[in-house]
């Protein structure tokens, strides 16, 4: 051990007796500091201009323009400059013979030199630590453990680069060749992850060898045994290769024995890497202050209810535009989406089924890339697509075969995952959004449906109500039944079904009944069915529009609520007079805390065409105002020109000024449970048009309505505590001072110190 340390000390002295080491220090400090301080100045300017920025620690360090993220892009360029002479210098000068003939073990020589280069790398990390300290001083409530995790990841990355550089230096007597070869190995390790991705075992091995993005989790605050062991295995591998390389020059053994050692070492490394990356053997340490790299507590609670195997089967259609997302080449990135869940669900397994089918071949969106397919059968089109993509059609089930297993016609044969557990199933889909893949809220909801009875929404039909299946502007397809919309309730854990009130009994298994703006008067029999449902304690949502008072009021009278005659209007230069921006009422928190949070955030709901609601407290229900109009508007009973932005108040015609309830919540205890009913004077607030072109918090409000109905079970709350590192504690002048010191004064002192040592060395 002493010999190793002495060799390390000698090698460090040699490093600092050359200008390269000093230049690298200065360049590294200036380059990293320049980006860091410029980024902080940009954040400071944004804050001064009134922008709200949260999680500043993440922004300043692992974020896209953060210190750690930028360093990983250039760190690999510094190491070859330092490591290129470690062994090649000994070979070119002939001193290698003296080393090999000295009473020093080869392992001590290699470890001593490696310790020297790692010590230098530690100095680079110390420079980053100084900048990190400045970040802690500058950022209010900075996440120190997140920064520490990033520094650990960068140090392990530096150690790995150093081991590779040391080995490459042992292969040649030319330092430039050693540096170029080191860069070449870095490039190989970056791109090896894309090799053999179509073959299961090969895919796992090459993915393990890839160094690309290996430190990303650590930079973002998550330390895993998989990543730590990767760095250790690669370091040991290249140090061992270096030792074997020198031993080969000292020992005269057959080439088969020499090659056998290399092969055995490589096989052992790959096997250890393969085993250490098995999901069930990975341990995790979330270093973030808010545990943002771990599932939220609600998701963990759901995951803990899964006991035994949970199977996620991904159905990949060759004729679907998202086929690339499910191909073997994308397997590892696809599996990473569920990595957080594997921590808490050991029995989670992933399966993939490949097929080709189309419900409407001619109008399939993916077919626009396939040229003219007129007159071709599904198989002929599939052959053409497979040939264009370089795939084997035999790997894909034909339509007749896949239809025996599962009917995907309702999913339009698109990319879908089916979760199976204890005989229950649920689905995960892709969405027509910038972020196409499901995230924690959707995944947890799909899993939760397997361990609880999912809430079912029943929609009354038969009187021209809003439809949950049609895409027209007035309908409710987007909020309820749109498979391609992330926020649609069927993707948030709910089930929905239609019920013809005129020909069917109201289903007993529904959790909430919705009467959505009927335009035809309900029959007495239909009204009686609804009354019986209410008397039995059933929950209900009723939405209506101005002008439908005569249709809906007979039913509402039974509940103690009425829609007032007329329509609410609001003066505005930019909107038509029927546009009312309703606010969450003060008493909304009494209904449920979720509505209270909306009130605290000053959220509003855009209602275009809304009738005021009148009610008096009575013995049947306790009634609270949920939404109310602004006091600057009024209830207009006469005709209004909705094409004009001008509207006048006419008291003589019966107009009434003031704030009016536009949504009311009714509740009572019945059958040992709380019955919940919502009455809304506007039906458009959750229509397709209102949600596709939002003007308010209509989507959030609509989801919270159904969350209230199902006692908070769905949608699953995956919100986290807000971070408090949302401002900078130093002023512009102080930041400029830091910048001057660390980008000019300290580098100048380092250059002066290096010059002093080098000149003194030369004189001696």
Tokens 């855009």 map to which residue?
Answer: 606
pLDDT for position 613:
95
195 and 209 Cβ atoms separated by less than 8 Å: no
In 10 A of CB 651, how many CB atoms? 9
pLDDT for position 212:
75
Mean pLDDT by 10 residues, the chain (764 residues): 82 84 91 92 85 87 91 87 77 65 77 91 94 93 94 94 88 82 82 66 68 86 92 92 78 70 84 82 90 93 94 94 87 87 92 89 65 77 86 92 92 93 95 92 96 96 94 94 94 95 92 96 94 94 94 94 92 84 87 80 89 86 92 84 73 87 93 92 94 90 94 91 86 89 91 84 66
Tell me how far CA of residue 222 lies from CA of 229, 246, 682, in angstroms. 14, 38, 47
pLDDT for position 597:
79
Distant-in-sequence, close-in-space partners of 284: CB < 8 Å, separation ≥ 6: 222, 223, 224, 225, 294, 343
DSSP symbol at 721: P
Strand partners, 615: 561
For residue 631, give both structure tokens: 């006091």
Question: 632 — phi, psi (to 5°)?
Answer: -80, -10
Whole-number Å distance between alpha carbons of 119 and 393 = 55
Strand partners, 353: 315
Burial class (CB in 10 A: 0-12, 13-18, 19+), 261: middle
For residue 690, give both structure tokens: 């209102």
DSSP track, 547-612: T-HHHHHHHHHHHTEEEPSSEEE---SSS-TTEEEEEE-TTHHHH-HHHHHHHHTT-EEEEES---
pLDDT for position 694:
86
Helical ranges in 49-143 per DSSP H: 56-60, 67-83, 88-93, 95-101, 106-138
495 and 425 Cβ atoms separated by less than 8 Å: no
pLDDT for position 485:
94
Strand partners, 728: 139
312 and 349 Cβ atoms separated by less than 8 Å: yes
Rg of the chain in Å (alpha carbons):
34
Q: Output the furthest CA–CA distance in the chain (Å, rounded).
A: 114
Tell me how far CA of residue 477 lies from CA of 464, 474, 488, in angstroms. 15, 9, 8
Whole-number Å distance between alpha carbons of 670 and 716 = 26
Whole-number Å distance between alpha carbons of 624 and 661 = 9
Whole-number Å distance between alpha carbons of 476 and 482 = 9
Print burial letters for 426-435: b (CB count within 10 Å at least 16), e (below 16).
bbbbbbeeee
Whole-number Å distance between alpha carbons of 629 and 568 = 8
Strands 567-569 and 622-628: unpaired
For residue 310, give both structure tokens: 């949970």
Tokens 């016609």 map to which residue?
Answer: 409
Whole-number Å distance between alpha carbons of 618 and 610 = 24
For residue 534, give both structure tokens: 């209410």
Strand partners, 515: 542
DSSP symbol at 466: P
Q: In order of start, what are the domains of the chain with their CATH numbers?
A: 2-288+727-763 (no CATH), 297-429 (no CATH), 453-709 (3.40.50)
Which candidate, 77, 41, 76, places its Cα nearest to that of 60? 41
pLDDT for position 655:
86
152 sits in which H/E element? helix 144-169
pLDDT for position 501:
94
Whole-number Å distance between alpha carbons of 28 and 124 = 8
Distant-in-sequence, close-in-space partners of 5: CB < 8 Å, separation ≥ 6: 112, 115
């Amino acid at each position: 051990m002493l010999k190793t340390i002495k060799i390390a000390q000698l090698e460090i002295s040699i490093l600092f007796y050359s200008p390269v080491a000093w230049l690298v220090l200065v360049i590294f400090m200036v380059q990293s500091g320049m980006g860091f301080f410029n980024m902080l100045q940009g954040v400071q300017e944004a804050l001064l201009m009134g922008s709200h920025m949260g999680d500043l620690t993440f922004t300043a360090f692992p974020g896209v323009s953060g210190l750690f993220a930028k360093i990983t892009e250039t760190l690999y360029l510094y190491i070859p400059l330092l490591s290129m002479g470690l062994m090649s210098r000994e070979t070119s000068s002939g001193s290698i013979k003296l080393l090999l003939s000295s009473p020093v073990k080869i392992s001590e020589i290699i470890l001593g030199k490696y310790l020297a280069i790692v010590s230098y790398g530690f100095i680079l990390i110390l420079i980053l630590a100084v900048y990190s300290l400045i970040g802690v001083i500058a950022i209010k409530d900075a996440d120190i453990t997140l920064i520490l995790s990033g520094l650990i990841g960068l140090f392990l990355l530096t150690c790995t680069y150093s081991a590779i550089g040391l080995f490459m230096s042992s292969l040649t007597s030319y330092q430039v060749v050693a540096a170029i070869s080191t860069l070449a190995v870095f490039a190989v390790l970056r791109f090896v992850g894309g090799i053999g991705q179509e073959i299961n075992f090969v895919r796992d091995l090459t993915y393990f060898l890839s160094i690309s993005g290996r430190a990303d989790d650590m930079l973002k605050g998550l330390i895993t045994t998989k990543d730590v062991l990767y760095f250790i295995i690669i370091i040991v591998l290249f140090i061992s290769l270096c030792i074997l390389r020198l031993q080969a020059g000292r020992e005269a053994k057959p080439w088969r024995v020499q090659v056998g050692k290399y092969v055995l070492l490589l096989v052992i490394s790959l096997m250890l890497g393969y085993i250490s990356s098995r999901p069930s053997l990975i341990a995790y340490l979330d270093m973030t202050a808010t545990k943002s790299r771990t599932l939220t507590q609600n998701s963990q609670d759901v995951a803990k209810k899964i006991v035994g195997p949970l199977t996620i089967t991904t159905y990949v259609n060759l004729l679907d535009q998202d086929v690339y997302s499910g191909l073997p080449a994308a397997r590892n990135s696809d599996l990473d989406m569920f990595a957080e869940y594997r921590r808490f669900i050991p029995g989670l397994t992933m399966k993939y089924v490949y097929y080709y089918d189309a419900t409407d071949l001619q109008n399939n969106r993916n077919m626009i890339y396939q040229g003219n397919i007129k007159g071709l059968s599904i198989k002929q089109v599939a052959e053409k697509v497979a040939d264009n993509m370089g795939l084997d059609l035999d790997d894909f089930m034909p339509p007749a075969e896949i239809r025996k297993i599962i009917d995907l016609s309702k999913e339009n044969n698109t990319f879908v995952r089916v979760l199976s557990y204890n005989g229950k199933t649920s689905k995960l889909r892709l969405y027509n959004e910038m972020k196409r893949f499901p995230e924690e809220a959707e995944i947890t909801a799909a899993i939760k449906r397997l361990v609880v009875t999912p809430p079912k929404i029943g929609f009354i039909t038969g009187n021209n109500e809003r439809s949950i299946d049609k895409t027209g502007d007035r309908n409710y397809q987007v909020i309820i039944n749109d498979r391609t919309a992330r926020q649609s309730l069927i993707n948030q854990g709910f089930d929905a079904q239609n019920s013809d009130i005129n020909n069917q009994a109201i289903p007993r298994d529904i959790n909430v009944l919705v009467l959505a703006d009927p335009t035809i008067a309900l029959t007495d029999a239909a009204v009686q069915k609804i009354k019986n449902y209410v008397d039995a304690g059933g929950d209900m949502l009723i939405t209506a529009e101005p002008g439908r008072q005569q249709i809906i009021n007979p039913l509402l009278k039974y509940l103690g609520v009425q829609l007032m005659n007329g329509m609410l209007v609001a003066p505005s230069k930019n909107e038509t007079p029927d546009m009312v921006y309703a606010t969450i009422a003060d008493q909304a928190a009494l209904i449920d805390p979720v509505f209270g949070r909306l009130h605290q955030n000053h959220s509003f709901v855009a209602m275009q065409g809304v009738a005021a609601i009148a009610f008096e407290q009575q013995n049947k229900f306790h009634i609270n105002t949920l939404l109310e109009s602004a006091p600057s508007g009024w209830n207009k009973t006469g005709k209004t020109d909705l094409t004009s932005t001008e509207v006048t108040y006419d008291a003589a015609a019966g107009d009434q000024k003031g704030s009016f309830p536009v949504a009311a919540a009714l509740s009572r205890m019945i059958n040992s449970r709380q019955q919940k009913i919502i009455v809304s004077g506007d039906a458009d607030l959750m229509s397709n048009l209102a949600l596709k072109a939002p003007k308010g918090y209509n989507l959030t409000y609509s989801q919270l309505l159904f969350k209230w109905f199902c006692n908070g079970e769905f949608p699953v709350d995956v919100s986290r505590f807000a971070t408090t590192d949302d401002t900078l504690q130093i002023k512009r002048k102080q930041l400029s001072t830091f910048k001057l010191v660390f980008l000019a004064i300290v580098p100048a002192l380092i250059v002066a110190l290096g010059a002093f040592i080098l000149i003194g060395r030369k004189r001696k």
